[in-house]
Amino acid sequence: MARAIICRSWPRRILAPRSTLHCHNECGHHARHNNVIAQPQDEHGAEPPSDAIVIFGVTGDLARRKIFPALYAMVSKGTLQVPVIGVASSKLTVTQLHERVADSLNHAGTARDPAVVERLLSLLTYVSGNYNDPATFSTIKAALAGTRRPVHYLAIPQSAFETVITSLGAAGLAENARVIVEKPFGRDLASARELNRIAQSHFPERSIFRIDHYLGKEAIMNLLYFRFANSFLEPIWNRNFVASVQIILAENFGVAGRGAFYETAGALRDVVQNHLFQIVALLAMEPPPRRGYGAVHGEKAGVFQAMRPLVPEDLVRGQYAGYRNEPDVAPDSDVETFCALRLFIDSWRWAGVPWYLRAGKGLAQTTAEVLVQLKPPPQALFADSAPADGRANHFRFRLAPTSSIALAARVKRGGKGFVGDQRELYLCEDGVGDELPYERLLGDAMVGDGALFSDQQAVEAAWAVVEPVLVNHSPAVGYEQGTWGPHEADALTAGDGGWHQPAPEKDCP
């Protein structure tokens, strides 16, 4: 049995806006060195931090699931000390708002320190109003009295983005301000372009933060680090050695009360065009030609621009049994809760290498994993050099729920014959960091650091890839919950050894 090699700590903060960071080297010794990639100040100059947060959609699902726990964590670490103004149309008393915060922290399983909750609530005020009513923005302005550089967070349905951004501009609330826009940014190429135009007519590009919380996840940040902090990868990271790449984002639950949102989105818009494409970009991008995050943005956009626009034959859409009975879902809905696709990147590095993506709800497990399948040796010196199932050596990146990297190589079995087995060298993260993605991203936006956000070029190029199949596609096929999706998806990978089933979780020894 090959020995597993365990590395217990990866650098915790690899794209920090700070100029230096702490990390552990592979032996666990503490090291301190300069951050070589993220140097936002190089590009835009240091800017003062935001002195208030306005959260549109504060009574919504996102606030409940992610934003309040992030705010709590920030208050508990002392990184949030400015007023937080929640805005929504519901008429809530202060007590009801406070109950929502408590409910959110309970739901997130956040260990609660009453003193921290007290501090968070003392920062929080609430404005109730319709986004179409200019009076709502006058009330926000009054609530912001005494502050000079607010950040407006649009945690609202994308159909309301334009109204809110335009009203912020009209009310003079865009001056010296930043804006964070939730995903999906637009619902197709034309709407993303229009939204960019509107946002840029009120805010400079460096003050627009297009959020994709996957970019704030430790395991995803580590993809970039792993690729460019190691020299051994570069010679094999291309079409000569890589046979195919698979990425899966599976969830073992349904739309969980978000039927109304899902009916407007579907899996392709909800997680593929953004979360999965961001993972593809980090894996496929060219080395940035210079330091500074602007270069990383440019290279990532280059990947989307090199992606071949999808055709209907590249896509299988599925819908889990029971989806049509979910609240706010049409009884004859054709919206996909599962999506499998084949993608090509027509670049020098990746020409001819298929990228297979799968995402779905109601699947067998909640997990996210990448499999980079390497080609077998060119000659079958041993009978099992090229395994019958087509699976030769691989890299496997576990992104959720735990974070690890495995390299599978063949190792000889003890005995006379030259036969062996594939074993994994396993690099295991013993924690996923103590910063929640939304905590990290909110904190970054407040200091004007756009490193972990998407830029206009990338968002539009990613929409251009999916645009041809947004409307022109086959009907969603049914699948049972608790499975890996519809069998129809198997045809996509049939020529490449089939779909990779995410490996069971391994414990970090």
Query: Cβ of residue 363: shortest distance to ligand BG6, in angstroms?
Result: 12
Provide the edge-to-edge strand list for the sheet that holds 52-56: 124-128, 84-88, 52-56, 150-154, 178-181, 208-210
Query: Cβ of residue 165: shortest distance to ligand BG6, in angstroms?
Result: 21
Residues 384-423 contacting ligand BG6, CB under 6 A: 400
CA atoms 400, 403, 407, 412: torsion sign: negative
Residue nearer to ligand BG6 on the CB measure, 270 or 435: 270
Q: Which residues are marked as active site?
A: 275
Residue nearer to ligand BG6 on the CB measure, 251 or 369: 251
Select the residue whose beta carbon is closest to ligand BG6 and give its number. 270
| Total residues at interface with ligand BG6 (CB under 6 A) | 5
Sort 461 into a burial class: Cβ within 10 Å, 0-12 / 13-18 / 19+: buried
Please tell me whether residue 442 binds ligand BG6 under the rule CB under 6 A: no
Please tell me whether residue 444 binds ligand BG6 under the rule CB under 6 A: no
Site string for ligand BG6, 195-214 (x = CB under 6 A): ------------------x-
d(CA 118, CA 196): 38
Please tell me whether residue 271 binds ligand BG6 under the rule CB under 6 A: yes
For residue 118, how far is the Cα from the chain centroid? 31
Q: Which of 232, 229, 60 is nearest to 155 (CA)?
A: 60
C-alpha distances in Å from residue 227, one per residue of 29, 235, 388, 493: 22, 11, 29, 25
Helix (H, G, I), strand (E, B) or coil at 132: coil
Query: Cβ of residue 458: shortest distance to ligand BG6, in angstroms?
Result: 17
d(CA 101, CA 121): 8
Parallel/antiparallel/unpaired status of strands 477-479 and 315-320:
parallel
Please tell me whether residue 369 binds ligand BG6 under the rule CB under 6 A: no
Please tell me whether residue 218 binds ligand BG6 under the rule CB under 6 A: no
Please tell me whether residue 445 binds ligand BG6 under the rule CB under 6 A: no
Please tell me whether residue 314 binds ligand BG6 under the rule CB under 6 A: no
Query: Cβ of residue 160: shortest distance to ligand BG6, in angstroms?
Result: 16
Query: Cβ of residue 97: shortest distance to ligand BG6, in angstroms?
Result: 24
Please tell me whether residue 270 binds ligand BG6 under the rule CB under 6 A: yes
Please tell me whether residue 251 binds ligand BG6 under the rule CB under 6 A: yes
Contact between 200 and 261 (Cβ < 8 Å): no
Helix (H, G, I), strand (E, B) or coil at 83: coil
Residue nearer to ligand BG6 on the CB measure, 192 or 271: 271
Please tell me whether residue 268 binds ligand BG6 under the rule CB under 6 A: no
Where along the sequence are the contacts to ligand BG6 (CB under 6 A)?
213, 251, 270-271, 400
